[in-house]
Amino acid sequence: MAKEKKLVEAITSMEEDFAQWYTDVVKKAELVEYSGVRGCTIFRPEGYAIWENIQKELDARFKATGVQNVYMPMFIPESLLNKEKEHVEGFAPEAAWVTYGGSEPLQERLCVRPTSETLFCDFYHNIIHSYRDLPKVYNQWCSVVRWEKTTRPFLRSLEFLWQEGHTAHATAEEAEERTIQMLNLYADFCEEVLAIPMVRGRKTDKEKFAGAEATYTIEALMHDGKALQSGTSHNFGDGFAKAFDIQYTDKENKLQYVHQTSWGMTTRLIGAVIMVHGDNSGLVLPPRIAPTQIAIIPIQMQKEGVLEKANEVKEKLGAFRVKVDDSDKSPGWKFSEQEMRGIPIRIELGPKDIAANQCVIVRRDTSEKIVVSLDEVETKAGEILDQMQKEMLERARAHRDAHTYEATTLDEFKQIAEEKPGFIKAMWCGDQACEDQLKEVAGVTSRCMPFKQEQLSDTCICCGKPAKALVYWGKAY
Amino acid sequence: MAKEKKLVEAITSMEEDFAQWYTDVVKKAELVEYSGVRGCTIFRPEGYAIWENIQKELDARFKATGVQNVYMPMFIPESLLNKEKEHVEGFAPEAAWVTYGGSEPLQERLCVRPTSETLFCDFYHNIIHSYRDLPKVYNQWCSVVRWEKTTRPFLRSLEFLWQEGHTAHATAEEAEERTIQMLNLYADFCEEVLAIPMVRGRKTDKEKFAGAEATYTIEALMHDGKALQSGTSHNFGDGFAKAFDIQYTDKENKLQYVHQTSWGMTTRLIGAVIMVHGDNSGLVLPPRIAPTQIAIIPIQMQKEGVLEKANEVKEKLGAFRVKVDDSDKSPGWKFSEQEMRGIPIRIELGPKDIAANQCVIVRRDTSEKIVVSLDEVETKAGEILDQMQKEMLERARAHRDAHTYEATTLDEFKQIAEEKPGFIKAMWCGDQACEDQLKEVAGVTSRCMPFKQEQLSDTCICCGKPAKALVYWGKAY
Note the pLDDT of residue A2: 42
Domain with CATH 3.30.110.30 in chain B: 404-474
Task: State the average pLDDT over residues B322-330.
Answer: 94
Length of chain A measured in residues: 477
Selection from A1, A26, A4 nearest residue A278 by Cα: A26
Note the pLDDT of residue B85: 86
- Whether B466 has a pLDDT exceeding 50, the answer reads yes
- Whether B33 has a pLDDT exceeding 60, the answer reads yes
Note the pLDDT of residue B294: 98
Neighbours of B386 (CB within 10 A): 12
- Whether B2 has a pLDDT exceeding 50, the answer reads no
- Which residues in chain B have Cβ-Cβ distances shorter than 8 Å to A44? 70
**How near does any CA of chain A get to the CA of B435, in Å?**
28
Q: Which pairs count as long-range contacts for B25-30, CB under 8 Å and 24+ apart, including other chains? A: B25/B274, B25/B278, B25/B282, B25/B283, B25/B340, B26/B153, B26/B154, B26/B274, B28/B282, B28/B340, B29/B282, B29/B283, B29/B340, B29/B341, B29/B342, B30/B341
SS3 B358: strand
**How near does any CA of chain B get to the CA of A57, in Å?**
14
Asked whether A298 and A329 are in contact (CB, 8 A), the reply is no
Distance CA B210, CA B234 (A): 10
| Candidates A40, A101, A109; nearest CB to B73 | A40
Pick from B44, B52, B69, B75 the residue to mutate for testing the A interface (most A CBs within 10 Å). Answer: B75
Note the pLDDT of residue A92: 87
- Whether A46 has a pLDDT exceeding 50, the answer reads yes
The CATH label, of 2.30.40.10, 3.40.1030.10, 1.20.1280.50, 3.40.50.800, for the domain at A294-385 is 3.40.50.800
- Interface contact flag, B43 A126, Cβ < 8 Å: no
Confirm or reject contact between B245 and chain A (CB < 8 A): no
Four-residue CA torsion sign, B58, B59, B64, B70:
positive
Distance CA B432, CA B414 (A): 18
Residue B279 has φ and ψ, to the nearest 5°, of -140, -170
- Interface contact flag, A101 B102, Cβ < 8 Å: no
- Whether B425 has a pLDDT exceeding 90, the answer reads yes
| Candidates B48, B145, B147; nearest CB to A70 | B48
Confirm or reject contact between A464 and chain B (CB < 8 A): no
- Interface contact flag, A43 B71, Cβ < 8 Å: yes
What is the tens place of the pLDDT at every residue in B255-314?
A: 999 999 999 999 999 999 999 999 999 999 999 999 999 999 999 999 999 999 999 999
Distance CA B382, CA B388 (A): 10
Four-residue CA torsion sign, A44, A49, A51, A55:
positive
Selection from B338, B341, B345 nearest residue B359 by Cα: B345
Confirm or reject contact between A97 and chain B (CB < 8 A): yes
Distance CA B469, CA B453 (A): 7
What amino acid occupies position A419? E
Confirm or reject contact between A455 and chain B (CB < 8 A): no
Distance CA B243, CA B83 (A): 6
Distance CA A82, CA A88 (A): 6
CATH fold of the domain at B13-277: BirA Bifunctional Protein; domain 2 (3.30.930)
Percent of chain B predicted with pLDDT > 70: 98
What is the tens place of the pLDDT at every residue in B167-225?
A: 999 999 999 999 999 999 999 999 999 999 999 999 999 999 988 999 999 999 999 99
- In the beta sheet, which residues pair with residue A202? A216, A449
Confirm or reject contact between B70 and chain A (CB < 8 A): yes
| Candidates B76, B103, B123; nearest CB to A93 | B103
E strands in A401-474:
404-406, 423-428, 445-450, 469-474
For the packed helices B2-9 and B331-341, what is the interaxial angle rounded to 10 degrees? 10
Tell me the pLDDT of chain B averaged across its residues.
96
- Whether A3 has a pLDDT exceeding 80, the answer reads no
What is the tens place of the pLDDT at every residue in A199-253?
A: 999 999 999 998 899 999 999 999 999 999 999 999 999 999 999 999 999 999 9
Confirm or reject contact between B453 and chain A (CB < 8 A): no
Note the pLDDT of residue B326: 95
- Whether A5 has a pLDDT exceeding 60, the answer reads no
Listing from the earlier edge strand, what are the strands of the sheet with A423-428?
A: A68-69, A136-145, A159-169, A259-266, A227-237, A214-221, A199-202, A445-450, A469-474, A423-428, A404-406
Note the pLDDT of residue B6: 53
Note the pLDDT of residue A7: 56
Note the pLDDT of residue A354: 97
- Which residues in chain B have Cβ-Cβ distances shorter than 8 Å to A102? 92-95, 147
Task: State the average pLDDT over residues A383-396.
Answer: 98
- Whether A6 has a pLDDT exceeding 60, the answer reads no
Distance CA A181, CA A55 (A): 18
Selection from A142, A160, A162, A163 nearest residue A41 by Cα: A160
Distance CA A318, CA A300 (A): 24
- Interface contact flag, B48 A37, Cβ < 8 Å: no
What is the tens place of the pLDDT at every residue in A8-43?
A: 567 999 999 999 999 999 999 999 999 988 889 999
**How near does any CA of chain B get to the CA of A143, in Å?**
9
Of A341 and B210, more confident: A341
Distance CA B164, CA B185 (A): 14
pTM recorded for the entire structure: 0.96
Q: Residues 6 or more apart from A19 whose CB is under 8 A from it?
A: none
Distance CA A360, CA B133 (A): 30
Confirm or reject contact between A274 and chain B (CB < 8 A): no
Tell me the pLDDT of chain A averaged across its residues.
96
SS3 A460: coil
If you classify domain A11-277 with CATH, what class do you get? Answer: alpha beta
Q: Which of residues 77-96 of B touch A (CB under 8 A)?
A: 77, 80, 92-96
Percent of chain A predicted with pLDDT > 70: 98
- Which residues in chain A have Cβ-Cβ distances shorter than 8 Å to B159? 73-75
- Interface contact flag, A112 B110, Cβ < 8 Å: no
- Which residues in chain A have Cβ-Cβ distances shorter than 8 Å to B122? 35-36
Confirm or reject contact between B103 and chain A (CB < 8 A): yes
Distance CA A35, CA A321 (A): 30
Pick from A31, A70, A121, A141 the residue to mutate for testing the B interface (most B CBs within 10 Å). Answer: A70
Domain with CATH 3.40.50.800 in chain A: 294-385
Confirm or reject contact between A131 and chain B (CB < 8 A): no
- Whether B437 has a pLDDT exceeding 60, the answer reads yes
Note the pLDDT of residue A1: 37
- Which residues in chain A have Cβ-Cβ distances shorter than 8 Å to B41? 73
- Which residues in chain A have Cβ-Cβ distances shorter than 8 Å to B74? 40, 74, 112, 143, 145, 159
pLDDT tier at B149, thresholds 50, 70, 90: confident
If you classify domain B404-474 with CATH, what class do you get? Answer: alpha beta
Architecture of domain B294-384: 3-Layer(aba) Sandwich (3.40)
Distance CA B246, CA B248 (A): 7
Chain B residue with CA closest to A328: the answer is B132
Domain with CATH 3.40.50.800 in chain B: 294-384
Distance CA B259, CA B166 (A): 11
Note the pLDDT of residue B62: 98
pLDDT tier at B40, thresholds 50, 70, 90: very high
Four-residue CA torsion sign, B269, B275, B281, B284:
negative
Pick from A37, A52, A69, A329 the residue to mutate for testing the B interface (most B CBs within 10 Å). Answer: A37
